[in-house]
Amino acid sequence: MRRSSKSIVGISTFCLLIVGAVVAAILFYREPAGGGSTQPAEPRPDFKQTQVRAEAGDAQAQNLLGELYAEGRQVKRDFGEAIKWYRKAANQGLARAQYNLGVLYDIGQGVPQDEAEAARWYRQAAEKGNADAQYTLASMYGLGRGVSRDAKEALRWYERAAEQGDALSRYNLAERYERGKDVPQDLVEAYKWHSLAADRGLQDAATARDSLSGKMNSGQLAEARKRIRDFNEKFPPKREDK
């Protein structure tokens, strides 16, 4: 269960797309954070073998079994069974399962919809470094869904996900700095985040970056490029992301 990061159509519809992305997450695997990759999804292991491992207590297999039930692959789709296996893995501390469980509570599949419970599971996964959970938790703080609206917490979690290469988090940060939404307006910082999102394959970010460059002087552009270099030195792209 992964969210798509291919494109986004702008800040005016951004909040609606956050919710839509969560709904879509139950059915589709998320692409690598670059968003432009055309690599096929990894092949799924055999259902029966996965079930045996899951029943023996293997958390990774439990989560995988939950995903197979949620997707309806090799077995009839059953969100109740998905919840059961996600919960087993989540209770063992597996971040991906905690995120997946949060998604099902968020959209009300297999359980009554409960945004507060979704946020609780997202937070557990986010604190373990799961970028999908960090992004989604940030959006919840930004909108006040399941938690009290908190712009600082939203910014913190977007930054955490952005540092891991999450394209939509980088784009969101860029839009905030460009428009001065919950942060002081900073075109240099906006250019930096648009560029970093574009580096992950987000075409809308590349378009926004190029448009923004026309509003900046040479000194601002030089400073933005320095910040990009500094960021990439501190948080270098993973080999598989290049």
Domain end: 111, 132, 155, which one? 155
DSSP string, 7-72: ----GGGHHHHHHHHHHHHTTSPPPPTTS---PPPPPPPPHHHHHHHHHTT-HHHHHHHHHHHHHT
Q: What is the pLDDT of residue 21?
A: 44
In a domain, 4, yes or no: no
For position 143, which CATH number holds? 1.25.40.10
* pLDDT attached to residue 45: 75
Whole domain around residue 100: which residue ranges? 11-155
37 and 15: one domain?
A: yes
Looking at the structure, do residues 121 and 188 belong to the same domain, yes or no? no
pLDDT given for residue 48 in this prediction: 93
SS3 state at 211: helix
Specify if 172 maps to a domain.
yes
Structural domain includes residue 208: yes
- Are 78 and 183 in the same domain? no
Question: Which of 125, 155, 185 corresponds to the end of one domain?
Answer: 155
Same domain as 182, residue 76: no
Total of domains in the chain: 2
Show which of 131, 155, 179 is a domain's final residue: 155
Q: Is residue 2 part of a domain?
A: no
pLDDT at res. 34: 38
The amino acid occupying position 238 is K
- pLDDT for position 238: 74
Count of residues in the chain: 242
> Would 161 be classed as within a structural domain?
no
Q: What is the pLDDT of residue 203?
A: 97
CB 197 within 8 A of CB 170: yes
Same domain, 95 and 173: no
Per-block average pLDDT, block size 10, for the chain (242 residues)? 45 39 40 40 78 97 96 94 98 98 97 98 98 98 97 98 97 98 97 98 97 97 98 84 42
Residue 238 DSSP symbol: P
Burial 126-145 (b: 16+ CB within 10 A, else e): beeebbbbbbbbbbbbbbeb
**Which regions of the chain does DSSP assign to beta strands (E)?**
none
